[in-house]
Each structure stands twice: as structure tokens, then as C-alpha cells.
Structure 1
């Protein structure tokens, strides 16, 4: 009789494009989300936690660079119920499409305008790459139900305050603002009408300006270009003069007369807005977009947000198709080293804009809306690159165990430390080898170890070892310095909490 084939053990590995997060990463993200939520709440936004699963129909056709709604998402079909086919469901790919569904579903119970913030993971069924994962955190804030440019200006101001609250210094970031209507006007003025089949390709090419630069966009709009790998990328085949007019707009190379509104808009914004007026010519939608940018610039200047923080910039396009007006992008301007040791700017950590047509899919009526999305993991990576946060989190105080029969006494010690808001734990491994306990404390990055055996208990004492200072002394100190700077202290049992607190305060 043949033996049953033994089932192979499953591989202990994360799925491709996903990763696990440990210790400091989780704690730091939680703290960042708390800080961001504090800023959003201060601006009057309410928290919303929507379902992580939506119907594919509700998500719609707004996935990045794909035409079919279940192409870029993790989707599955429910089982049939009688003659009814099962619904297609998907994990949310962003926080905006779910908001449109929530507002359409609950609009009679929500205030207008409705201001909400939300945070959590989103999922993209896209090809992963270095630093690009299929699951990542977003932190969004949106205002639904008002067409006022004051809402867009407020979102930009709040984003600036948020970046500074989490530790991005002023001068290390720039929030760039444009308007999709202006770009539509530029294309109209350049002779590329809304029904021209080349228009979507032109928009996608413009969105690559930050990556390929002025010359690269010019090549892609005309005959094409050779990329870094040597591959040929086909161009849109625009006439050279038409392509150059678009590039002029992106680079603000038209030369306007000096604007007379520099005081209320900021001189740089005034120049750029005047340049945009030239670029859109007589286009109605283009001039409408320029008017909206002018209102935003005036409101931001009045609140004290100068062009060193928030600036009008014609090169901002934003890739998603649902933007209908102002678009914004937060860029970190400091340099980091890439994996090959080359200097480069850190780049974008947040983006958003106005999307007045998204709720209309559910209600049939246009509902104006605007919002911003922060890439939390990108922002954390930026703070690590600047040395503002460390990858290593300080561990708990470890109460070692010299006598397992006195476990109740050790637990009493750790309870006192915890009640004093000091992170602490009792060693729960095999206490037989004391050296292993200190190795454990070292692996846990513990700042302090508490030591008490029979002699200490009889004398009403405890030994407290400063593990951080001890490591520093062991690295650099001479024997005389070792004697002068002891890293282990004997104190009365009643002084345990006070001494541990003093050591921790001295390590900060």
C-alpha cells in the first residue's frame, strides 16, 4: 500500500511586494499618525474610518494608468446567490474613492461642507520595486460640499503645518500648487482639443516632467527618446512648435510684464500667474483656472504662508484622472544618497487636489470636493534620512531574576515601574544563567537592568545597572575612568523608581 505523500511545509516568507514591520517602525508610525491627526483635528476635521473593502463598481475606473477597474487592485468575486451573480469586491487602493461612496450614502446625515480625515493601509496590485510596496499607509484629509477656493487654500496651509509638526523643518519642504484647468487651457491654446486622441498621452508625458526634465518632455512630446537602459520610448508626435509651447508653460519661460499684485500674492506667485495668463491665451477654462490660483495665492499670503512654503508651480500635474481644478504636491527639497551613492532630492511625500466629479458617479449631481493624501511611510523614511528619528527604539527596563522563588517580589518591582509610566518587564526566560539575562537586555536595547538576589532582599536594597553608560565606558574608558564612573548603583528598595527615573532622564 502506497504511503500518503507528505505535505510540504509552507515557506515562512512574506508575499512579494509586502513586508513586516517591527518595534520602532510601528511605534514611530503610530506617533506620526497621532501628530498628523492632532493637526487635522485642530483645523476642525472629523475622523472617519471606512471599510477596507469596497465593491469594484464603487472604486470606479480611476486607478493609476489602467483602464480596467480590477486590473490594479486586489479583487475577488463573491459566490453566486441563486440566480444572482456575486459582487466583485476589492481592497481599497486609496482613501478618496471610499470617501465618495461614504458621502453619497450618508449625505443626508452629514454636515455640508463635510470635513473628514482618515488614515490606514491601502493596497495596490502593481509591480513592486525598491521602496515600492503593495501595501502602504496613507493619511488623508478632505472637504466635501464646497467649491470655495478657501477650502483648497486651507488644505495647503494644513499640509504645511503638518509637515512642520512631524519634524520637517521650514526650508526642507515646498508645497507646489497648480490647476488642471490651466493645463486644459494651455492644450486648447496649443490646438490639442479635448477630443484629440493624443491628449491623454500628452497629459501623461507632462506628468513625467520631474523625472525626465525639460528636454525629456520635449522629446516625448515629439519623436520620442532613448531612456537610461537604451530602450526607445515612442513620442506623441506633436509638432515642434506645439510641444515647445507646452514646455514653455511647464518651465514658466514666457516673459510677462511685471505683475502689480506682488504684495498680495507674493512676487514669485504674481510673476507665475501672469505667465500662465499668457500661456492660456483666450481659453475660458484656462483663465478660470488662473483666477482660482490667484484667489488661493491671495488667501495663503493673507495667512502668512509665503512662497518659501507654498508656491504656484506650472509643472505640477498629478496623474489621477479625477482631478478637476487645483492640484497640490508636497516635495521635500533636501538631498539624500540613493542606493548607488548618488545625490538626489528626496521628492514628493504628499499630493492631492480638487475632484468635483467623483461623488457625481453615485448621485448624478456634481458635489465639489478637495483633499490631500500624505504617504506616511515616505514621510517616515524622510525623517530617518534627516536623522530626526532613529531606526532603533529604546527597550524596556529589565528586572532580572536571581531567585525564581521570589517572582512575586520581582513582579511587584515591575508593577511599581509601570505605575510610574516607565516601560518595564520581568525576565521570563530561564534565569539559571545570569549572563544570558544581560544579553537579553542588550538585545532588547534596554537602558537599565534591575538586579536583586537574596542578599539584596535581606538588606532591603536593589542593584540598578545603567546599561547605556556601561556600554559607553566599556568602549572608551581607561581603568581609572571605569572606577570613577561606575555604571551600577546600589539603592534602597524604596528608591527603586526614583533612581531608575533619574538614570533615564540623564540618558535623554
Structure 2
């Protein structure tokens, strides 16, 4: 009989693009989520926890991956009914499904916040994982821009609540309608230049061809404008026109748009002035031939006015036409929160931290389910990026304090030790009894050190008979122990004998 081949052991490794989170990392994230949730609740938003799995049909358009378009989700097909299911890639698509499904039971407007992991089947990279946390707040059913202004103010409050003070962040606001207005305006301008006497039948056809071409190029235009910070005016102009060579020398085809079109889009990018009033004036000039564009500018003006009345100044929230990312998805105002302080990159070079939140108005998402347009606006905070920013500034991080450790000197007296732990826990103090092998007392102290325990409590037979316990201050002990002899260490104040009845009060005082 042939000998069965031994099955290899599985590798103990995290899948590519994922990572594990331990102790203080999980605690820091939860504390941040709690603070943000409290801000959302103050604004009247209710919590929603939707399924982590949705049908692919409900999720709709996959998030594009540069290397594998339309492969942005983790999906599988059910055996029985052949339905395709997928892990959610954000918290907004599930909201649209929830609202469409339960709209008769929900208030209008419906204001909800949601927090949790999302999954994207994209190529991982440094700091880019396939599972990460998002923290969203959305208003569904409110068509006026007061809802957009409220989201901006709430985002500012959330950032300051978690430890990002004024001066370390800026929320930039733009409007998709303004970009659409530029396309209409440059088409109208071309019509006036080419057909000053009015459109003939042939001229009308040529004009409509130009206008259709510009509208069809919208997504590509936005991707080009999004590169403005990296390639500047010349690079944007080249990509809108005939093309350009990148840093490697490879030629990138341009969109082939006329020069005057590039002029219009660059005027849009440079419209930001020293004040919101100047910016709005410049934008009105850029989109003067478009009713939709002017409507977008008016909406931005109303947002700025509403925020100013609530006390939010230009050091917190500004109108900025250079915010282009996301305009392909949103239908109206769009917001982006950027941290303005510098950090050091992996090579020790200073750079700004960048964006930690984004959002805007999306009035078409629920329509996929209902057939009717439902106005909606919201924001999504990248929790992991925000935590990374706070760690970079030293506002969170390091190791979390462990529990008070009750050592075991006599296995037969486990009930006494558990009673001590229960007293401390009843007062809200983290405490645990050592449950490893107590034979070697030194191992218990090593365990306490590894857990970053602040105190260790000892009660042997002698202490029990005298009605006392010994408390070791492990934090102070670490600071004092270097260079001390064992006898000197025993005499210093990092170890103290107290009455058993005073244990709780003593520990509370030591822990502050």
C-alpha cells in the first residue's frame, strides 16, 4: 500500500494587501470612531449598520483599478440561484440600497452615519490595503445646499474633536456643475467665434458635434485636471491637446481638444482668489455662458454664506476650483478635507500629509433602485489615514497601558486572587489574574512587562496572614531599576506594602 503523502502545514502569514491590528491600534481606532460618532449624533444623525455583503447588482459600478478595470470587488457566485455577491467596497452604495428598500419606514430626510471595514480588490502598495475602515455620514432626501453646508461644518467639527486643530486642516469645496458649465461655455464661445452671424444648418451640426465631443471627454478631462498639482499648467495643456512625454520619456496621447478649451479649463483651475468672494467672481466669468455653471457658482456662494453665519472661517473651509477628484461621481457640491502640516516620507523628506476625507452630492445613486431621483449628500472619512496623521504628529501612538496584574503565589488560593480582580473591575479598573504557570515568579513579572502592566499585586502566605499585599509600581520600577542592586531596588518606592483593605483606594490613586 502506497504511503500517503503528508500534507504541508499552512503558512502563518497575512494575505497580500491585508494586515493585522493589535491592542493599542484597535483601541486608538475605536476611541477615534467614538469621538466622531458623538459629533455625528450631536448633529442629529442616527447609526446604521448594514450588511458587509451586497449583491453585485446592488453595488453597481465597480471601483476601477488601474491595472484591472472593473475588478474592484471581492465577488463570488451562489451555487443555488447563481446570484453574484460581493464584499462592500464603500458605505455609500449599501446606503442607497437600504434607503430604497426601507424608504416607506424611514423619515425624509434620512440622516445616518455608518462606520466599518470595506474591501477593495485592488493592487496593494505601501500604505494601500485591501481592507480599511471608513466613517461616513449622509443625508438622503434633502435637495437644498444647506445640507451640503451642514456636512462641511460637521466634518470640521469631527476633525477638531479627534485632535486636528484649526490651522492643521482645510476643507476645500467645489461643484460639478461649475465644471459642466465650463464645457458649455467654451462650446458657446467657439460658436460665437466661428459663427458670428449666427448658425447655419451646417454650422448647427458642427457646433453640436463639438459640444458632444466635449461632453464625451468629461471624465478624461477630469482625470487630466486632477494631475495639475504634479504636472502644472504646461502638462495639463499638453494632455488636453496633442499629448506629452512623461518623466520616463514615454509619450502620452492627449485628448486633442482645441487650445481655447485648454484656456477655459486652466482659467477654472486658477480661479481661486485670496477670498471666497474673489473666487466666486472669477468663476462667474469663466462659466458666464452656462446656466448650469452659474447655478453651481450660486450654490457655492450659498454654502460659503451659511458656513460663515455658523462661525466657520476661511482658515477652515474655502471655495477651491482645483478640487477635481471625485467630480465624475458627484452631481453637485464636492468636498475634500486636507491636512496641511508636514511629515517626513520614507526617505526623510518633508511633504504635506494630504487628503483624509472626501464627499459631495450624489443625486443619482438611489435612482438606480427607484427610478426616481433622490437627492443625497455625504462625507467619508478615511479612518486609517487620519490615525496615521495623528501618529505622525505624536497625538496618538506608543503602547497602551495594560491591566493591573494580580500574581499567583499559591494555586490553592485562586479564589482570593479572583476576588481582588473583581473588586478592581467593579471600580472600572482593568485587571487580570495571571493564568499561566505560576511556578516561576520571574515569568509572571516578565509577562507583566510584556503586557505593559502598570502595577503588579502580590499576596503570598505571609502577606495573607498579616492582612497586607505588596504592590509593585512597574512603570516607576523601570525608570529606577537601571544601575541599582537588587537590595537597593527593594528599598525604593516602586514597591510598597499596604493593608489588603486599602487595595482599591491605593490602586485608584496610583493610576490617577
Q: Normalised by the size of structure 2, how large is the TM-score?
A: 0.90
Deviations 1:82-126 (A, max 9, x none): xxxx11111111111111111111111111111111111111111
Q: Which residue of 2 aligns with 1:258?
A: none
Q: Which residue of 1 aligns with 2:153?
A: 157
Q: Which residue of 2 aligns with 1:308?
A: 315
**Aligned partner (choices 228, 233, 236) of residue 209 of structure 1:** 228
Distance of aligned partners of 1:320 and 1:223 in 2 relative to their CA distance in 1, 3 Å threshold: same
CA RMSD of aligned residues (A): 2.3
Deviations 1:447-505 (A, max 9, x none): 11111211111111111111111111124889999798521111001111111121111
* Alpha-carbon distance in structure 1 between the residues aligned to 2:218 and 2:332: 17
Paired residues of 2:222 and 2:327 also in contact (CA < 8 A): no
Q: Which residue of 2 aligns with 1:131?
A: 127
Distance of aligned partners of 1:4 and 1:62 in 2 relative to their CA distance in 1, 3 Å threshold: closer
Q: Shift of residue 65 of structure 1?
A: 5.9
SS in structure 2 at match of 1:20:
coil
* Alpha-carbon distance in structure 2 between the residues aligned to 1:75 and 1:461: 61
Distance of aligned partners of 1:242 and 1:478 in 2 relative to their CA distance in 1, 3 Å threshold: farther
Q: Which residue of 1 aligns with 2:375?
A: 368
Distance of aligned partners of 1:387 and 1:230 in 2 relative to their CA distance in 1, 3 Å threshold: farther
Q: Which residue of 2 aligns with 1:328?
A: 335
Paired residues of 2:176 and 2:327 also in contact (CA < 8 A): no
Deviations 1:130-181 (A, max 9, x none): 0000111111111111111000000000000000111111111100000000
Deviations 1:67-90 (A, max 9, x none): 999521111111244xxxx11111
Distance of aligned partners of 1:65 and 1:284 in 2 relative to their CA distance in 1, 3 Å threshold: farther
Paired residues of 1:56 and 1:70 also in contact (CA < 8 A): no
Deviations 1:381-407 (A, max 9, x none): 111111111131111111111222221
Paired residues of 1:46 and 1:115 also in contact (CA < 8 A): yes
* Alpha-carbon distance in structure 2 between the residues aligned to 1:168 and 1:130: 24
* Alpha-carbon distance in structure 1 between the residues aligned to 2:406 and 2:491: 26
**Aligned partner (choices 132, 136, 139) of residue 140 of structure 1:** 136
* Alpha-carbon distance in structure 2 between the residues aligned to 1:419 and 1:479: 35
* Alpha-carbon distance in structure 1 between the residues aligned to 2:305 and 2:7: 69
Paired residues of 1:78 and 1:87 also in contact (CA < 8 A): yes
Paired residues of 1:188 and 1:194 also in contact (CA < 8 A): no
The answer to whether residue 362 in structure 2 is matched with residue 355 in structure 1 is yes
* Alpha-carbon distance in structure 2 between the residues aligned to 1:479 and 1:57: 69
* Alpha-carbon distance in structure 2 between the residues aligned to 1:43 and 1:225: 48
* Alpha-carbon distance in structure 2 between the residues aligned to 1:111 and 1:476: 68
Deviations 1:18-42 (A, max 9, x none): 1111101111111111111111011
* Alpha-carbon distance in structure 2 between the residues aligned to 1:232 and 1:449: 67
The answer to whether residue 108 in structure 2 is matched with residue 112 in structure 1 is yes
SS in structure 1 at match of 2:323:
coil
Note the residue ranges of structure 2 that are not aligned, 5 or more in a row.
188-209
Q: Shift of residue 427 of structure 1?
A: 0.9
**Aligned partner (choices 410, 416, 438) of residue 409 of structure 1:** 416
Paired residues of 2:174 and 2:334 also in contact (CA < 8 A): yes
Distance of aligned partners of 1:443 and 1:219 in 2 relative to their CA distance in 1, 3 Å threshold: farther
Paired residues of 2:62 and 2:70 also in contact (CA < 8 A): no
* Alpha-carbon distance in structure 2 between the residues aligned to 1:391 and 1:214: 43
Q: Which residue of 1 aligns with 2:181?
A: 185
Q: Shift of residue 199 of structure 1?
A: 2.6
Distance of aligned partners of 1:209 and 1:64 in 2 relative to their CA distance in 1, 3 Å threshold: farther
Distance of aligned partners of 1:212 and 1:132 in 2 relative to their CA distance in 1, 3 Å threshold: farther
Paired residues of 1:465 and 1:488 also in contact (CA < 8 A): yes
Q: Shift of residue 245 of structure 1?
A: 2.8
* Alpha-carbon distance in structure 2 between the residues aligned to 1:239 and 1:180: 22
Note the residue ranges of structure 1 that are not aligned, 5 or more in a row.
256-266
Q: Which residue of 1 aligns with 2:11?
A: 11
Distance of aligned partners of 1:207 and 1:423 in 2 relative to their CA distance in 1, 3 Å threshold: same
Q: Which residue of 2 aligns with 1:44?
A: 44
The answer to whether residue 241 in structure 2 is matched with residue 222 in structure 1 is yes
* Alpha-carbon distance in structure 2 between the residues aligned to 1:390 and 1:381: 9
Q: Normalised by the size of structure 1, how large is the TM-score?
A: 0.91
Distance of aligned partners of 1:403 and 1:483 in 2 relative to their CA distance in 1, 3 Å threshold: closer
* Alpha-carbon distance in structure 2 between the residues aligned to 1:403 and 1:87: 60
Paired residues of 1:227 and 1:233 also in contact (CA < 8 A): yes
Q: How many pairs were matched up?
A: 489
Deviations 1:323-373 (A, max 9, x none): 100000000111001111111111101000000111111111111110000
Distance of aligned partners of 1:215 and 1:394 in 2 relative to their CA distance in 1, 3 Å threshold: farther
Distance of aligned partners of 1:397 and 1:290 in 2 relative to their CA distance in 1, 3 Å threshold: same
Q: Shift of residue 53 of structure 1?
A: 1.1
Q: Shift of residue 238 of structure 1?
A: 3.1
Distance of aligned partners of 1:65 and 1:203 in 2 relative to their CA distance in 1, 3 Å threshold: farther
The answer to whether residue 86 in structure 2 is matched with residue 90 in structure 1 is yes
* Alpha-carbon distance in structure 1 between the residues aligned to 2:69 and 2:238: 31
Distance of aligned partners of 1:339 and 1:280 in 2 relative to their CA distance in 1, 3 Å threshold: same
Deviations 1:420-467 (A, max 9, x none): 111011111111111111111111011111112111111111111111
Paired residues of 2:239 and 2:254 also in contact (CA < 8 A): yes
Q: Shift of residue 194 of structure 1?
A: 5.1
Paired residues of 2:243 and 2:253 also in contact (CA < 8 A): yes
SS in structure 1 at match of 2:275:
helix
